[in-house]
Amino acid sequence: MSHPISLAHLTVLDATPPELITVAAAAGFRTIGIRLTATPSVGVPPYDILRDGPVLRETLRRLADTGVNVLDTEFLRFEPDQPVGVPEGFLEVSARLGARNVLVMSAEPDEARTIDRFGDLCDRAAHYDLHVCLEFAIYTGVRTLAHAVSLLGKAKRSNASILIDALHFSRSGGVPAHVKQVDPALLRYAQICDASADMPGLTDTPALIREARTGRLLPGEGVLPLAELVAALPAGAPLAIEAPSRATANLPALERATRAYRALTSLAGA
């Protein structure tokens, strides 16, 4: 397989980090992304992993027992009314888990503020040998791939990269040819899902967010040009499947992860 595959936590968001590891391993994944910040309002069960307590210890134990690796940790978000964008312990725990990347989005409307905060995060993450991946979406402060590339050029940090999420990329007007115009060194991995032809309006932020959180499809179930997108990515770039769907939310987490594994394996090996 030319692109290693990973299970993003959002695909089985009801699973705690230890449960995520067990489910991923049983489904066939050797790599995962872990959401360290639990958010009950969007369906994440409350758990405390940002300190040396039972959840972190059990997570580390299951990683060791299964051999599963951590591709990235999430979810960081720069909010204009919250000066502290990185929870205490986030970077330290990311490093302890062996993560290679941390993921961040920005709700800052002021680009200069985003650049300052992003640069500071990169500097802090560098102490833990972590890369910082900036994810863009049409309803955030960094709206498109071109905008993200421009911002990284201004931030000038060697451990900075861009996260292409297939859904956000498509909804922001991106096409696979745009990926070929980006320095491959900036594209460390990508998040993959499919989507229907019924696109929310570009100014309908609530609908776009609902689609991102509960309306994604598995590769092959929608209309996105995923094979072309994967072909445009750097050779060997990992693909993380992030495909939460309200249509399958009642299925056991293992069943959802197994379906995701099959769909992503088929795409990655195509």
Three-state SS annotation for 58-121: HHHHHHHHHCCEEEEEEEEEEECCECCCCCCCHHHHHHHCCCCEEEEEECCCCHHHHHHHHHHH
Distance CA 146, CA 136 (A): 10
Percentage of the residues of the chain whose pLDDT score is greater than 90: 88
pLDDT of 50 strictly over 60: yes
* Mean pLDDT computed over 17-25: 97
Res. 81: pLDDT tops 90: no
Tokens of 201: 């309006």
Q: How confident is the model at residue 37 (pLDDT cuts 50, 70, 90)?
A: confident
Cα–Cα dist 103/92, whole Å: 14
Share of the chain above pLDDT 70, in %: 96
Q: In this structure, what token pair is assigned to residue 105?
A: 């989005």
Which parts of 6-73 fold into alpha helices (H)? 17-27, 54-66
Asked if omega into 78 is within 30° of 0 (cis), the reply is: no
At 1 the pLDDT is 52
Rounded CA-CA distance 123/160 in Å is 10
Spatial CA neighbour of 74 closest among 185, 207, 193, 240:
240
pLDDT in tens, 209-247: 999 999 999 999 999 999 999 999 999 999 999 999 999
| Token pair for 180 | 């070929």
Burial class (CB in 10 A: 0-12, 13-18, 19+), 158: exposed
Closest of 178, 173, 167, 166 to residue 208, by C-alpha:
167
Note the pLDDT of residue 46: 75
